[in-house]
Amino acid sequence: PTPFPTPQPTRTPVSAAMFDRYRLLVDAVLSLGITPPGLLASSAFVATAIEPETPQQEAINWLAFDDVLELDAETDPPERIVQRYAAAVLYFGTVGGEWNNGTGWLNGTHECEWFGIKCESRMVAVYEESQVQVTVEEQMVKEINLADNNLFGLLPAEIGVFRYLDTLGLYSNLLGGNLPTSIGNLTMLERLWIDNNYFQGELPTEFGNLAALKQVD
């Protein structure tokens, strides 16, 4: 007998609202200049038509289409949007599905409630409808501690988004390659724990920007 053909997956229609949401989120992410534009699809149609090939694309797709929190690039602080995006890039870029503990990651809670993340209140900028810039209180990441958690791959450049970070604990994982130059953006970093990994090469010259650094292991 002839087997029944396997039905093809149905592609979710790309609505006008989805186009706009995707575009605004991409604009917010690219405004920081850390993620190269070439790593992100130019439109929601392209993003949904092909399998994502980079952790950056996986992260922006999740943020735009799957994140139940549905941050709004027109009303939420850009720093908050980019912070959540960068956390998602870290997850996808280090194969978060294989972590020993990924409690809370990529669910509908604030990223500050995800395993290994601690935050503190900061005043950040947001634009009102009149395009007047005001400041609002927001929870921003101050510590990422994912030590001994089966992270592997490369540490993504988006780690440099977390400008309020004072502690980065990634020791006893399987991370390799070079440290990204964007680590120099973490000017408030005091503790950097990255031993027992497979990092290669020399420290980037931008490492010299870490004037607050007290401990490196």
pLDDT in tens, 103-159: 999 999 999 999 999 999 999 988 766 567 788 999 999 999 999 999 999 999 999
Instruction: Report whether 166 contacts 212 (CB < 8 A).
Output: yes
Give the helix, strand, coil percentages of the chain, each rounded to 5.
35, 20, 45
C-alpha dist (Å) from residue 57 to 28, 125, 156, 207: 14, 26, 13, 27
Question: Which of these, 212, 119, 214, 116, lies nearest to 173 by C-alpha position?
Answer: 116
Q: Facing residues of 134 across strands?
A: 126
The token pair at 81 is 């949007």
Compute the distance between CA of residue 150 and CA of residue 139 in angstroms, rounded to an integer.
27
Question: Which of these, 20, 83, 33, 87, lies nearest to 58 by C-alpha position?
Answer: 87
Q: Phi and psi for 160 in degrees, rounded to 5?
A: -70, -5
The token pair at 99 is 């972590």
Domains (range + CATH), the chain: 16-216 (3.80.10.10)
Q: Convert the pLDDT of each residue in 145-168 to its tens digit.
A: 999 999 999 999 999 999 999 999
Compute the distance between CA of residue 175 and CA of residue 187 in angstroms, rounded to an integer.
22
What is the average per-residue pLDDT within 18-31?
Answer: 92
Q: Convert the pLDDT of each residue in 189-214 to its tens digit.
A: 999 999 999 999 999 999 999 999 99
Q: Convert the pLDDT of each residue in 30-76 to its tens digit.
A: 998 999 999 999 889 898 888 889 999 999 999 999 999 999 998 89
pLDDT given for residue 202 in this prediction: 92
